[in-house]
Amino acid sequence: MGLLDALIHFVNFFMPALGVGLLSALLTKLLWRHALQGVSLRRLAAWAVGACALVLIGGLVVTGRDGRMATYIAMTAACALALLWAGWGPGRR
């Protein structure tokens, strides 16, 4: 495997985290725009993408494989909890 192939695998590994995190943050900001008026979209997206990425890494370490359905379920739950913390938790403004 060459350097370019390794880079493509690395980027593709984190694409679900990036997609789910960004889309969830955007939808959260749109649905609760009045309640989250003082919270930036960048903060919500950073928390969501970070939580999703950590769960993907944890799922790979625990199961030994990428793409397990349990990892994606845990990623969804972690994303929701991260958005809850970033949007309504302490120090949100």
Domain extent at residue 81: 52-61+69-86
**Residue 42 counted as domain residue:** no
Q: Which residue would you say has higher pLDDT here, 50 or 92?
A: 50
pLDDT digits (tens, 9 = 90+) for 2-25: 999 999 999 999 999 999 999 999
Domain count, the chain: 1
Asked whether 21 and 51 are in contact (CB, 8 A), the reply is yes
Answer whether residue 75 is part of any domain. Answer: yes
| Domain annotation covers residue 93 | no
Segment 50-61, tens digit of pLDDT = 999 999 999 999
Residue 74 located in a structural domain: yes
Three-state SS sequence of 26-55: HHHHHHCCCCCCCCCHHHHHHHHHHHHHHH
Report percent pLDDT > 70 for the chain: 97
Q: Give the residue, 27 or 92, on which the prediction is more confident.
A: 27
